[in-house]
Chains A and B, each alone.
Chain A
Amino acid sequence: MRRAVLIAIPYAWLLVLFLIPFAVVFKISLSDIALAIPPYTPTAKDGIWTMLSQLDFENFVFLTQDDLYWRAYLSSMQIAAISTVLTLLIGYPMAYAMARAPEAWRPTLLMLVILPFWTSFLIRVYAWVGILSGEGFLNQFLLWIGIIDTPLTILNTNWAVYIGIVYTYLPFMILPIYSALDRLDGSLIEAAEDLGCSRLKAFWLVTVPLSKNGIIAGCFLVFIPALGEFVIPSLLGGSGTLMIGKVLFEEFFSNRDWPVASAVAVILLIILVVPLVLFQRNQQRQTEAGG
């Protein structure tokens, strides 16, 4: 009885917060646009059977006909992938340095990584507008030290989006890698050196494989939210930055085409399910190996 209750809680959570909303969105994606409140038809007011009989896959067919959508999906994936790699390249050395820092410093360093979360995400992204714009701090600084003589155009390009995503999601990369490296027994590195490895080789043969789970977890934690990211591309990206989050927002709020927007969301979710399942499996394996 108690076990049933314990198991029921996560399932109820999943049902209420994921499956029911998904069913609602999926149903809307099968509806047609209408000038009404809510702005689609049919609704449950028409009777369940009438409603079900009028649903169709028209909107999904539409998504395949307009190349805007699949280009947006592809470009989102590309931006998310590039950002993930950049975050890994920056986050790994930081996590490594943190794990190798004197024991007494580590809580402070960890605090510094988490500290940005205390400020609103929106404000932090806005701050980057001030840094990256033509007259922003970065350009002024570079002009002042004389590396460049005309201001760089960073804001409203994909570069600004990369910077924004890397900056925002860096803690999600650092924390799992740090936790993997922190658990790493220092004598393993010594053993590798004792058996004839150079420092670099020992890092490659021991440290990297043993932090693999942290790397995988970090990459998923960055890639998954970055794929559907809306705020960063709309604030920092330009007109050329095509991301599915932005498309979704526009369909929903500018065009008020809820059915098409829902179809876009359903496809995005299906795309995300693959990495999510992979992420889950990685976590599970990690738990098993740890136990």
Chain B
Amino acid sequence: MPECVFAPWDDPNEKPLIRFRNVTKRFGEFVAIDDLTLDIYEREFFALLGPSGCGKTTMMRMLAGFEDPTEGAIELAGQNIAGVSANKRAVNMMFQSYALFPHLTIWDNIAFGLRRESSDKAAIAARVEDMLKLTRLEKFARRKPHQISGGQRQRVALARSLAKAPKLLLLDEPLGALDAKLREATQFELMDIQEKTGTTFVIVTHDQEEAMTVASRVAVMDEGRVMQVATPTDIYEAPNSAYVADFIGDVTLIAGTARARASAAQTPEPVATPEPQAAIRAPQPNALGIWLHDKVLAPVIGQRKDIVRQLPAPETPVAAAPADIPEGGISIDWADGQPPLIAADGDHALDGKPVKLALRPEKVAISKDRPQVVNALQGTVIDIAYLGNLSTYHVALADGTMIKAQTANTRRIARRDITWEDDVWVSWSGTAGVVLER
């Protein structure tokens, strides 16, 4: 992938800036972090993503120095930082509440950290001015925190935590208090600033969209464990567990048993087999038509040799599976009386094991007629979630399974042809779903 030139995690020679090594943190009986091992590299924008109570904030507080791990070690630039107090670490934190000092002006807030380590007034002033410029706050330098807006406060907090040029900047739900529009703008601003300063950012968030937007890599956490660490693309397109698939974005999970498929292309596909009764169903000329032909037309234009008494079936029967069915992969038996689902990139090793097929709604097509793809199931539209640009259809199959299908609303709503209670086909290609073992 060309956009991923920055990938130190793939380079074995690269030394991580932060290493969690078998870190466990307990609060009494409660295990907040459970035997966690994780590397974060320099210049990364790393997101810790998870529901509240998954331990992401605890991880951040351990990095900042407000908590010590119960077991294991945390290394910053190769040095164990256990026992180094918060005020001695080259790590700064941007607090969720921003924690701006209400009795100090914006200028003094930003200068606060600088004044602790040096008394060179000119150098401090220059650095503060730089930070003000970086966060576009020059006009507000003399104001107190309660005299500026939420978005400005957020930028002050960022400027203050960046002022000391830390090796690592921690951001605890930095955009949580902002409204949706401002949050989006600020996300890009954060990415800009991260790029400009070259600081390593670790961001804690429960907002998956935010994590996907800003981060170079995302760690999805649950109950003190890291479930998956990967780039946003991989997390979304290749989740390693039902938990990750379900946590990131919208997904339909279908449980079933895997069966390895033969690699031959001509393997007959149950879903694709043409129905043999095509000839019977085909329309034929009725008695009047035959009489007209025999008694009226034949004397005039002559008897036709090739009497076509039978029209071909309206739908050309499919001789074999469509050409785009890849070979191999697995098929999943998921319900009695339903054709198995085909996952062309499924691993043969899964043969006979219970698996889940994760389907993203936008990869499932919905149509009134039967489409020519490997996986097509019939159902009824139960619900339509209209999101403006997109519509998500909730389709119930015969056995009650719900499948979500998403379409872009390229037409005005009045002209859309699928509505509630319609019988429809949901379909997806052989590579659209992800086969998950857990």
B97 and A210: CB pair below 8 A? no
What is the CB-to-nearest-CB distance from B89 to chain A, in angstroms, rounded to a whole number? 8
Q: A187-B95, A201-B116 are in contact. Are A193 and B103 (CB under 8 A)?
A: no
Kindly state whether residue B146 has any CB partner on chain A within 8 Å: yes
B95 and A197: CB pair below 8 A? no
A210 and B113: CB pair below 8 A? no
Chain A 174-192 interface mask (CB, 8 Å, partner B; 1/0): 0000000000010110111
A190 and B66: CB pair below 8 A? yes
Chain B 63-100 interface mask (CB, 8 Å, partner A; 1/0): 01110000000000000000001111001110111010
CA distance A198 to B164 in the complex (A): 16
What is the CB-to-nearest-CB distance from B133 to chain A, in angstroms, rounded to a whole number? 20
**Cβ contacts under 8 Å, A212 to chain B:** 103
**Cβ contacts under 8 Å, A188 to chain B:** 99, 101
CA distance A212 to B86 in the complex (A): 26
Kindly state whether residue B160 has any CB partner on chain A within 8 Å: yes
Interface residues of B in 80-137 (CB under 8 A from A): 85-88, 91-93, 95-97, 99, 101-103, 112-113, 116-117
A192 and B112: CB pair below 8 A? yes
Report whether over half of chain B's contact residues are helix, strand or loop; otherwise say mixed: mixed
**Cβ contacts under 8 Å, A6 to chain B:** none
A196 and B146: CB pair below 8 A? no
**Cβ contacts under 8 Å, B88 to chain A:** 196
B101 and A194: CB pair below 8 A? no
CA distance A289 to B65 in the complex (A): 32
The interface size bin for chain A is 10 to 19
Could you show 24 A-B contacts with beta carbons less than 8 Å apart?
A: A185-B97, A187-B95, A187-B99, A188-B99, A190-B66, A190-B93, A190-B99, A191-B95, A191-B99, A193-B66, A193-B87, A194-B64, A194-B65, A194-B86, A194-B91, A195-B112, A195-B161, A195-B164, A196-B87, A196-B113, A196-B116, A196-B164, A206-B101, A210-B101
CA distance A201 to B92 in the complex (A): 18
Closest residue of A by beta carbon distance from B104: A209
Q: A187-B97, A201-B116 are in contact. Are A194 and B103 (CB under 8 A)?
A: no
**Cβ contacts under 8 Å, A198 to chain B:** 87
CA distance A205 to B103 in the complex (A): 10
**Cβ contacts under 8 Å, B85 to chain A:** 193
A195 and B92: CB pair below 8 A? yes
Interface residues of A in 189-244 (CB under 8 A from B): 190-198, 201, 205-206, 209-210, 212
CA distance A205 to B92 in the complex (A): 18
In the complex, besides A191-B99, A193-B86, A196-B117, 5 extra interface pairs with C-beta distance below 8 angstroms are: A194-B64, A194-B161, A195-B112, A195-B113, A196-B113
A195 and B160: CB pair below 8 A? yes
A185 and B86: CB pair below 8 A? no
CA distance A212 to B101 in the complex (A): 14
**Cβ contacts under 8 Å, B116 to chain A:** 195-197, 201
What is the CB-to-nearest-CB distance from A205 to chain B, in angstroms, rounded to a whole number? 8
Determine which residue in B86, B113, B117 has the highest number of CB atoms from chain A within 10 A of its CB, and name it.
Answer: B86
Interface residues of A in 100-136 (CB under 8 A from B): none
**Cβ contacts under 8 Å, A210 to chain B:** 101-103
**Cβ contacts under 8 Å, A205 to chain B:** 112
Closest residue of B by beta carbon distance from A198: B87
Query: Which chain B residues have a beta carbon within 8 Å of chain A's beta carbons?
Result: 64-66, 85-88, 91-93, 95-97, 99, 101-103, 112-113, 116-117, 146, 160-161, 164
What is the CB-to-nearest-CB distance from A286 to chain B, in angstroms, rounded to a whole number? 12
Which 7 residue pairs of A and B lie closest in terms of their CB atoms, listed nearest first? Answer: A195-B113, A196-B116, A191-B99, A187-B99, A193-B86, A209-B103, A187-B95
**Cβ contacts under 8 Å, B97 to chain A:** 185, 187
A197 and B99: CB pair below 8 A? no
**Cβ contacts under 8 Å, A187 to chain B:** 95-97, 99
CA distance A30 to B64 in the complex (A): 70
Closest residue of B by beta carbon distance from A202: B87
B66 and A197: CB pair below 8 A? no
**Cβ contacts under 8 Å, B96 to chain A:** 187
What is the CB-to-nearest-CB distance from B197 to chain A, in angstroms, rounded to a whole number? 17
**Cβ contacts under 8 Å, B92 to chain A:** 194-195
**Cβ contacts under 8 Å, B99 to chain A:** 185, 187-188, 190-191
Determine which residue in B95, B103, B160 has the highest number of CB atoms from chain A within 10 A of its CB, and name it.
Answer: B103
What is the CB-to-nearest-CB distance from A27 to chain B, in angstroms, rounded to a whole number? 47
CA distance A195 to B160 in the complex (A): 9
CA distance A232 to B161 in the complex (A): 53
State which of A190, A196, A209, A289 has its C-beta within 8 Å of the C-beta of B95.
A190
B86 and A190: CB pair below 8 A? yes
What is the CB-to-nearest-CB distance from B372 to chain A, in angstroms, rounded to a whole number? 59
Determine which residue in A190, A191, A289 has the highest number of CB atoms from chain B within 10 A of its CB, and name it.
Answer: A191
A194 and B93: CB pair below 8 A? yes
CA distance A209 to B95 in the complex (A): 20
CA distance A289 to B66 in the complex (A): 30
CA distance A60 to B220 in the complex (A): 81
What is the CB-to-nearest-CB distance from A24 to chain B, in angstroms, rounded to a whole number? 45
A289 and B146: CB pair below 8 A? yes
Closest residue of A by beta carbon distance from B112: A195
Closest residue of A by beta carbon distance from B61: A190
CA distance A197 to B115 in the complex (A): 10
What is the CB-to-nearest-CB distance from B93 to chain A, in angstroms, rounded to a whole number? 5
**Cβ contacts under 8 Å, B146 to chain A:** 289
